[in-house]
């Protein structure tokens, strides 16, 4: 017999979809845009309530919008050819080679031997490692592909298993720290994500020139404060239930010695992975496609026998991830193409007339962050709303550098607000260590904390350094 509570949860998103669908279409929007929003909003609400798994919600959503003619099949399924989606999937499979070959275990034992005295030490080592390598990676998805196998191996190396209700907590803690660390380190460096240069180009149209040096000068204080706060905050929100682990470094050193020299598969994986990482780092300079690099590395691992077709056949979670991520990318992109996102931004911003510039600034930043619930891409939101919000802020008297940097930084740290808020999140979200409900909860409170840091500390700092 179906749980009445579950039935009620499932009734809510359907009611939302029907209510929005049959409501009058607002002036300035087309009926397809309005109907697509009705279905998209219902899908997100259903996940937030736990009414349906993300994959189920995505499948129902895409089927509805195609069968009702809101968008064409080609538009609905365009996400299946999206390079970012493919990169996530391939990076996740390649990560399995790092684990299978034993290289991940070796790296994890090395990390545990040096930093494994506490769960907090492990978290800081992961977050700071990401912050250090971030300026060389124009793709935070690629950085996720580098970090995930290490975090997975460290989690398993400490005995944390996603199938154990209590034992999974340390792994869940480390996974979310890594995921959120990617968001805030992308705000620290101008070159850490592709959305940043896009925003910089738009800011130029408003007369603001931003270089690598001026970016790091403006971002360093709030971003480093956020990085320093992150492991402590997540430990409060999601206690790993493991504090001090003084025996872990000793045990790790013994096991590391027992592994002996690196095996053939470890060497092949290490060299392949290193070449992939180097390719990702220099992709822009060499005019290489980061997804193609990932596919080439995947092919090499298959040819060398490090990965087999049987290994791929066991990746059911990866297939599910590919399906729902592709669908949500496509639906979000179509909301933007149909003008819905720009419409929302303009209408929200137009309500701010008469406010003081500090109130206008804070309101715009908060709205800009909150709207990311509707996006599965940082870059798409920057393209859709950054210019609109910057223009409104300028007309409201907000200093241009402050408004621009506030929006640019938010375009990175808000990516952790939902599991689908940035393609880099997906690698960690499907690890099994955290439920969808936990990811949304942790994402909300972490984003709120980041928002507070960048508003309360970042605002006076940016005003100071930009004069």
Give residue-wise pLDDT tens across range 200-250. Answer: 888 888 888 888 788 999 999 999 999 999 999 999 999 987 656 666 677
At 369-412, the pLDDT tens digits run 998 887 777 877 887 778 888 888 888 889 999 999 999 999 99
The string of DSSP codes covering 141-167 is HHHHHHHHHHHHHHHHHTT--TTSTTT
Q: Are 67 and 292 in contact (CB under 8 A)?
A: no
Beta-carbon neighbour count of residue 88 at 10 Å? 28
Residue 312 has pLDDT above 70, yes or no: yes
Q: Are 205 and 433 in contact (CB under 8 A)?
A: no
Residue 317 has pLDDT above 90, yes or no: no
Higher local confidence (pLDDT), 139 or 10: 10
Report, as an integer, the average pLDDT of 254-283: 85
Residue that is written with structure tokens 């950054």 in the block: 386
- φ, ψ at 122 (rounded to 5°): -65, -45
Q: Are 222 and 461 in contact (CB under 8 A)?
A: yes
Q: What is the DSSP code (8-state) at residue 457?
A: T
Of 121-130, 172-181, 443-452, the one with minimum mean pLDDT is: 121-130
Sheet strands (E) in 249-360? none
Confidence of residue 137 (pLDDT cuts 50, 70, 90): low
Higher local confidence (pLDDT), 15 or 88: 15
Mean of the per-residue pLDDT values of the chain: 85
Residue 116 has pLDDT above 50, yes or no: yes
Q: Check residue 115 and give its pLDDT.
A: 76
Residue 112 has pLDDT above 80, yes or no: no
Confidence of residue 165 (pLDDT cuts 50, 70, 90): confident
Cα(108)–Cα(102) distance, integer angstroms: 10
Report, as an integer, the average pLDDT of 174-183: 94
Higher local confidence (pLDDT), 88 or 14: 14
Residue 1 has pLDDT above 50, yes or no: no
Q: Check residue 64 and give its pLDDT.
A: 94
Higher local confidence (pLDDT), 68 or 49: 68
Report, as an integer, the average pLDDT of 351-357: 82
Q: Are 179 and 425 in contact (CB under 8 A)?
A: yes
Q: Check residue 301 and give its pLDDT.
A: 93
Cα(429)–Cα(414) distance, integer angstroms: 16
Q: Check residue 46 and give its pLDDT.
A: 84
Q: Check residue 138 and give its pLDDT.
A: 61
Cα(47)–Cα(49) distance, integer angstroms: 5
What CA–CA distances, in Å, run from 362 to 358, 366, 390?
6, 6, 12
How much is the pTM? 0.70
Q: Check residue 328 and give its pLDDT.
A: 77
Q: Are 257 and 91 in contact (CB under 8 A)?
A: no
Cα(380)–Cα(300) distance, integer angstroms: 33
Cα(100)–Cα(306) distance, integer angstroms: 8
Report the DSSP beta bridge partners of residue 244.
118
In the chain, the N- to C-terminal Cα span, in Å, equals 66
| Domain boundaries of the chain, sorted by first residue | 1-76, 81-319
At 56-97, the pLDDT tens digits run 888 999 999 999 999 999 998 888 887 767 776 777 677 778
Residue 352 has pLDDT above 80, yes or no: no
Q: Are 437 and 395 in contact (CB under 8 A)?
A: no
């Amino acid at each position: 017999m179906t749980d009445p509570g579950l039935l009620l949860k499932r009734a809510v998103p359907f009611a939302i979809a029907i209510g929005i669908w049959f409501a009058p279409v607002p002036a300035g929007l087309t009926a397809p845009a309005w109907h697509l929003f009705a279905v998209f909003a219902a899908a997100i609400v259903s996940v937030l309530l736990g009414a349906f798994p993300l994959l189920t919600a995505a499948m129902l959503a895409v089927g509805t919008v195609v069968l009702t003619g809101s968008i064409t099949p080609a538009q609905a399924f365009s996400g299946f050819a999206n390079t970012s989606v493919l990169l996530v999937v391939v990076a996740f499979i390649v990560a399995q080679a790092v684990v299978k070959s034993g290289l991940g275990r070796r790296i994890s034992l090395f990390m545990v031997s040096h930093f494994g005295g506490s769960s907090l030490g492990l978290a800081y080592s992961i977050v700071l490692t990401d912050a250090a390598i971030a300026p060389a990676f124009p793709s935070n998805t690629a950085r996720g592909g580098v970090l995930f196998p290490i975090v997975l191996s460290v989690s398993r190396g400490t005995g944390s298993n996603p199938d154990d209700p209590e034992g999974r907590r340390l792994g869940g803690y480390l996974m979310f720290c890594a995921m959120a660390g990617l968001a805030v380190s992308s705000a620290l460096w101008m070159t850490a994500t592709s959305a940043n240069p896009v925003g910089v180009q738009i800011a130029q149209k408003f007369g603001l020139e931003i270089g690598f040096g001026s970016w790091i000068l403006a971002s360093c204080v709030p971003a480093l404060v956020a990085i320093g706060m992150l492991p402590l905050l997540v430990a409060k929100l999601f206690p790993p239930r493991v504090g001090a682990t003084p025996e872990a470094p000793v045990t790790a050193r013994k096991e590391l010695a027992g592994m002996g020299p690196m095996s053939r598969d470890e060497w092949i994986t290490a060299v392949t992975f290193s070449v992939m990482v180097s390719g990702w780092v220099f992709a822009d300079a060499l005019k290489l496609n980061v997804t193609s690099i990932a596919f080439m590395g995947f092919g090499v691992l298959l040819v060398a026998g490090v990965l087999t077709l049987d290994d791929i056949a066991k990746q059911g979670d990866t297939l599910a991830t590919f399906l729902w991520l592709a669908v949500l990318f496509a639906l979000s992109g179509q909301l933007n193409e149909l003008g819905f996102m720009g419409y929302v931004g303009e209408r929200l911003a137009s309500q701010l007339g008469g406010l003081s510039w500090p109130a206008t600034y804070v309101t715009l930043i908060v709205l800009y962050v909150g709207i990311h619930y509707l996006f599965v891409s940082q870059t798409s939101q920057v393209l859709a709303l950054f210019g609109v919000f910057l223009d409104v802020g300028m007309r409201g008297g907000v200093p241009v550098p402050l408004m621009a940097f506030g929006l640019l930084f938010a375009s990175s740290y808000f990516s952790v607000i939902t599991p689908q808020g940035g393609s880099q999140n997906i690698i960690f979200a499907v690890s099994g260590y955290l439920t969808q409900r936990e990811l949304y909860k942790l994402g909300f409170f972490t984003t709120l904390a980041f928002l507070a840091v960048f508003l309360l500390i970042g605002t006076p700092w940016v005003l100071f350094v930009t004069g």
